[in-house]
């Protein structure tokens, strides 16, 4: 499965016209992208026309998504749709890339700090995958009917992508199928697996395994009177039979609480999640363990995830809040965990840049005459009179909501692209 939960489309506002100046981006990744494009499409005339067209301001908002970059371009009185495509890396290729990256401490540290280091290209080469455009995986399509392939509109779009890479080089990973957050999480998972497997001591373990059993000893030497070879080759003794369970007290038909205890699987899963968070923090792979839940958050979590239907009923009676409030909060938790609950209960004010990016993404995903009128208040985007709403979480994802009995209820899982959320809400 190429592309993941964090790998949705991202929209960017159109660039204003530029008089003169460089048409190529100036950062390392922008230059690497441009050189790769020009090597793949070496015909000079379409490239020259593309550099000139990129500066005219006649390319609309740019949408970057896994395997695809698109924009509306305006040539005279006509508008054309221009699409540049690249092959997405598959899961096996991403896994190999993160394995090779994890072998490089400096590159790993930079990625975890939110930077895309230049030497990542060495890990890319070691993994034998393709990050920059190349022959056979870069293509263009435009309905302008130009004789040249690629047409100047497509090459102009590629030059504007280099401008985007000047400010956000992670877009290079997105177009190959991974968003920044997802890429970092996958690298963290690779590092965590190594930590849990004790890869740091792998060489020592290999050396020890090559020694004969008689040479293996405890740190302070072999125990007196014990033959190491005999102890090594001795067959393990079978474990004794488990003792019988104690009998239930007389007259006890069910637990004192009136409800069954949490199933063992639930407790094990909860402990594993907490242990992973703490181990990641201890190894320096995360900013810190997940903050502890307060009483209300933990009540919501249990109501949302406990498999016994009697548990939510009991919690509704004892939580001290209206039952509908707990039901709504539990639904928010099921769709987005603690982040989903925060979106339900707290509003916040996104920056001007975040609001502009959201508008660009919505415009890119809808026809101009079909996009509903939106009322924007803080992080709530509400199409007028339709009983639906989009909420932007602090995690950068968009949460769908529907109006039920004058209350806004969560209506599904979050998504990184607001236009997809709006489509799902309007199609239902």
What secondary structure does DSSP assign to 143-210, as a single string? TT--SSSS-HHHHHHHHHHHHHHHH-TTHHHHHTT--HHHHHHHHHHHHHHHHHHTGGGHHHHHHHHT
25, with CB counted inside 10 A (0-12, 13-18, 19+), is: buried
Query: Is residue 75 within 8 Å of 144, Cβ to Cβ?
Result: yes
Query: Is residue 343 within 8 Å of 399, Cβ to Cβ?
Result: yes
pLDDT in the model for residue 416: 85
CB atoms within 10 A of CB 278: 14
Q: Which two tokens stand for residue 428?
A: 């239902």
pLDDT in the model for residue 231: 60
Measure the CA–CA gap between 421 and 393, rounded to whole angstroms.
Answer: 13
pLDDT in the model for residue 309: 82
CB atoms within 10 A of CB 240: 6
pTM metric for this prediction: 0.50
Query: Is residue 73 within 8 Å of 173, Cβ to Cβ?
Result: no
The closest alpha carbon to 348, from 379, 390, 377, 375, belongs to 379
Can you give the pLDDT of all 428 residues of the chain as single tens digits?
344 445 578 999 999 887 656 788 889 999 999 999 999 999 889 898 999 899 888 999 999 999 999 999 987 778 899 999 999 999 999 999 999 999 999 999 999 999 999 999 999 999 999 999 988 899 999 988 888 889 999 999 999 999 999 999 999 999 999 999 999 999 999 998 888 876 445 445 444 444 444 444 444 455 555 565 566 666 777 878 877 877 766 655 555 444 455 556 666 766 776 777 777 767 766 666 667 889 999 899 888 887 778 888 889 888 889 999 999 999 999 988 889 999 999 999 998 888 888 888 777 666 556 678 889 999 999 998 889 999 999 888 999 999 999 999 999 899 888 888 887 887 65
């Amino acid at each position: 499965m190429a592309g993941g939960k964090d790998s949705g489309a991202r929209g960017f506002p159109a660039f204003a016209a530029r008089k003169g100046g460089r048409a190529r981006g100036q950062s390392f990744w922008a230059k690497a992208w441009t050189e790769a494009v020009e090597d793949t499409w070496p015909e000079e005339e379409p490239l020259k026309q593309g550099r000139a067209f990129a500066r005219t301001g006649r390319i609309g908002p740019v949408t970057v998504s896994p395997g695809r970059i698109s924009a509306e371009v305006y040539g005279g009185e006509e508008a054309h749709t221009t699409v540049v495509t690249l092959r997405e890396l598959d899961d096996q290729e991403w896994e190999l890339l993160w394995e090779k990256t994890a072998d490089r401490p400096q590159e790993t540290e930079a990625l975890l700090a939110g930077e895309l280091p230049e030497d990542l290209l060495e890990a890319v080469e070691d993994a034998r995958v393709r990050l920059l455009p190349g022959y056979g995986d870069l293509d263009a399509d435009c309905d302008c009917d130009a004789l040249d392939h690629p047409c100047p509109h497509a090459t102009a779009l590629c030059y504007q992508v280099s401008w985007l890479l000047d400010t956000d080089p992670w877009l290079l990973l997105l177009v190959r199928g991974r968003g920044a957050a997802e890429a970092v999480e996958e690298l963290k998972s690779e590092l965590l697996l190594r930590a849990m497997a004790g890869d740091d001591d792998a060489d020592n373990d290999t050396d020890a395994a090559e020694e004969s059993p008689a040479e293996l000893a405890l740190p302070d030497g072999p125990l007196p009177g014990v033959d190491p070879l005999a102890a090594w080759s001795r067959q393990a003794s079978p474990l004794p039979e488990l003792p019988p369970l104690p009998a239930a007290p007389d007259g006890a038909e069910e637990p004192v609480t009136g409800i069954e205890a949490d199933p063992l699987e639930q407790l094990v899963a909860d402990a594993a999640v907490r242990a992973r968070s703490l181990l990641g923090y201890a190894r320096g792979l995360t900013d810190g363990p997940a903050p502890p839940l307060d009483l209300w958050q933990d009540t919501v979590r249990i109501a949302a995830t406990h498999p016994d239907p009697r548990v939510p009923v009991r919690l509704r009676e004892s939580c001290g809040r209206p039952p509908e409030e707990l039901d709504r909060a539990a639904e928010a938790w099921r769709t987005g965990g603690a982040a989903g609950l925060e979106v339900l209960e707290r509003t916040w004010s996104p920056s001007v840049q975040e609001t502009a990016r959201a508008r660009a993404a919505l415009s890119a995903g809808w026809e101009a005459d079909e996009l509903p009128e939106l009322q924007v208040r803080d992080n709530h985007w509400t199409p007028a009179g339709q009983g639906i709403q989009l909420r932007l979480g602090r995690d950068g994802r968009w949460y769908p909501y529907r109006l039920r009995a004058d209350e806004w209820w969560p209506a599904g899982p979050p998504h990184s692209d607001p236009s997809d959320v709006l489509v799902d809400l309007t199609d239902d």
